[in-house]
Amino acid sequence: MRNFWGLMVAAMVLTCGVGYAAMEDKTAAALDAAQQWLAVCDQGDYGQSWETAAVYFKGAVQKEQWEQMLVAVRAPLGPVRKREVMGRDYRTALPGAPDGEYVVMQFAVSFEKKNESVETVTMMFEQDRGWRVAGYFVR
C-alpha cells in the first residue's frame, strides 16, 4: 500500500511538472510576441501595431482611433531608453473578455521624458494566428 501512494504522489508531481512546463512555454512565446509588438510601437508605427493585434482588440478600437491614442500617449514620453519585464501571469479568463488563453505582463519602462513608467500588455492566443495583443496600457 505504501508503494501505491508513493507512485500516486510521483505521478501527481510529474503531471504538475508537465503542466507547468507547458505554461512556461506559452508565457515565453507570449512574451516574445509582446516584445516584437512593442518594438513596432517604439518605432512609431502605430498603424502596424493595430494591424498585428488580436481580432478582439481590433473589434474594440478602430485603426485611426488607435493611432491617435498612441500619438497622444507615447509621443510626449519620447523614445524608450530601457524596458524590463516585471511579471507575467497566465490566465484562462479575464473580466469582460471571452474565455481563452491570456498572458498579462507588465514592463518597467524608462522613456526619455519619463523615467518610471509601467506598461501592461495583455496577450491573447488566437488558434490561427498565435499570440496577439489584446490590450495595452501605460501609466
pLDDT in tens, 47-100: 999 999 999 999 999 999 999 999 999 999 999 999 999 999 999 998 888 899
3-state helix, strand, coil in the chain (%, to 5): 50, 30, 20
Report how far residue 71's alpha carbon sits from residue 100's, in angstroms, rounded to the nearest whole number.
30
pLDDT in tens, 93-139: 988 888 999 999 999 999 999 999 999 999 999 999 999 999 999 99
Q: For residue 51, which of 133, 139, 138 has the smallest C-alpha distance?
A: 133
Per-domain residue ranges for the chain? 2-138
Does domain 2-138 fall under CATH 3.30.360.10? My reply is no
Radius of gyration of the chain (CA): 19
For residues 84, 89, 94, 95, the Cα torsion angle rounded to the nearest 10 degrees is -70
Going by pLDDT thresholds of 50, 70 and 90, the confidence category of residue 17 is: very low
